[in-house]
Amino acid sequence: MPDLQKSTKAFGGWNRRYSHKSEELGCTMNFTVFYPPAAESLKVPVIYFLSGLTCTDENVMTKSGIQRKAAEEGVAIIAPDTSPRGLNIPGESVSWDFGVGAGFYLNATQPTWKNWRMYDYITKELPSVLQKFKELDLSNAAVMGHSMGGHGALTLGLRNPQLYKSISAFSPICNPSQVPWGQKAFSGYLGDHLEEWKQYDATELVKDYSGPPRSILIDVGTADDFLEKQLKPENFANAAATHRSSSIKLQLRMQDGYDHSYFFISTFMDDHIAHHAKALKAAS
């Protein structure tokens, strides 16, 4: 059983932060769960929130107000960390957009970064750990995220429709193989094998999506400093629009005047929770 680090009440439910030894990543990892009040009497569906560069599991819980709407809708929020920590790999903390705090939700293939296996951690190991929590209905789950975590939500959601009933993202890195953040991460973690990059690029993945119908909500601020150089939501939207079937239903909202920060995220968080709650309730 994971070790409980702290417990804080919010909106009638509980934020609980845990630690556990990850076999996949080879280090101790933290994650936070928000249990809505409904979890006291029944198993509740879950939404995974994947955070962005430099963040931990605590950012969304302390800055976004995510708990209010989650409590209202009766859904749990699961917030994992963004990378392995404490391994002291040479170069892991040299830059803020690679290494510690920058796992990019992939499985690294380069030997130096062999512990950077956040894809398998999120999709396999963490759910197996969470099975121990009787309050959570892990068979009814959704995924969302911000920036690097928005990239993670899109790629994990598109590749694993059997795991996630709906997808949403704030300011996601939509076409990482074509932007500096993604190129730096992919070349470092995956090497120069460009075909391997495609399996972690949402714009490439949506072109060939063949799973069940999926509703995707994306919000991006028009005043986001990273919009033109790093995010490329238009590339994802164009790829989704030319998808051969009608199984991808994308709502891309460009929010006038908003930036990349948690002020932006908190403003539209209720919409995203409602988006997922609708899909999760339909599936229950």
Output the average pLDDT for the chain: 96
Q: Which of 22, 51, 83, 147 is catalytic?
A: 147
Q: What's the pLDDT tens digit per position in 6-44?
A: 999 999 999 999 999 999 999 999 999 999 999 999 999
What is the mean pLDDT of the segment spanning 82-108?
97
Q: What is the predicted pLDDT for the residue at 87?
A: 97
What is the mean pLDDT of the segment spanning 48-56?
98
Catalytic residue flag (residue 224): yes
Q: What's the pLDDT tens digit per position in 173-193?
A: 999 999 999 999 999 999 998
Residues 6+ apart with CB under 8 A from 80: 29, 31, 48, 50, 57, 121, 122, 126
Distance CA 107, CA 113 (A): 9
* ∠ Cα 63 68 80 (to 5°): 55
Residues 6+ apart with CB under 8 A from 111: none
> Is 70 exceeded by the pLDDT of residue 245?
no
Q: Which of 81, 137, 219, 224 is catalytic?
A: 224
Residue 105 tokens read as 């939700």
Catalytic residue flag (residue 51): no
Q: Which of 51, 171, 201, 260 is catalytic?
A: 260
Whose CA is closest to 177, among 161, 160, 192, 167? 192
Distance CA 163, CA 14 (A): 25
Distance CA 33, CA 136 (A): 10
Residue 205 tokens read as 């993945």
Distance CA 180, CA 192 (A): 15
Catalytic residue flag (residue 215): no
The answer to whether the CB of 115 falls within 8 A of the CB of 25 is: yes
The answer to whether the CB of 214 falls within 8 A of the CB of 248 is: yes
3-state secondary structure 4-48: EEEEEEECCEEEEEEEEEECCCCEEEEEEEEECHHHHCCCEEEEE
What is the mean pLDDT of the segment spanning 224-244?
93
